[in-house]
Amino acid sequence: MAKIEVRCLSCKRTFQLDYSYNTCKAGVKEQVVDMAMKSSGIRDTARVLSISINVVIRILKNSPTAM
């Protein structure tokens, strides 16, 4: 499957419309932090969002919200 890229006419940058990995999609990082604040486990969060356990840990480590 070919990825579709769109070029912005004003800034000349290219953007992807559809991502292969769920981690890159908009709002996933916020969902991970939100699920952690609601006492969901790391494995549960990874399974529900279809992302890696290591990605969940990395997002939580780098999040500015103190736990």
Q: Where are the domains of the chain?
A: 21-67
Residue 57, number of CB atoms within 10 A of its CB: 14
Query: What CA–CA distances, in Å, run from 64 to 3, 9, 11, 46?
Result: 32, 33, 29, 20
Is 24 a residue whose pLDDT tops 90?
no
Question: CA 67, CA 63: separation in Å to the nearest integer?
Answer: 9
- What's the pTM? 0.65
What integer pLDDT is reported at residue 2 of this predicted model? 63
Q: What is the pLDDT of residue 4?
A: 80
- The pLDDT tens digits for 31-65 are 999 999 999 999 999 999 989 999 999 999 988 86
Average pLDDT, the chain: 85
Strand (E) positions, the chain? 5-7, 14-16
The confidence score (pLDDT) of residue 48 equals 92
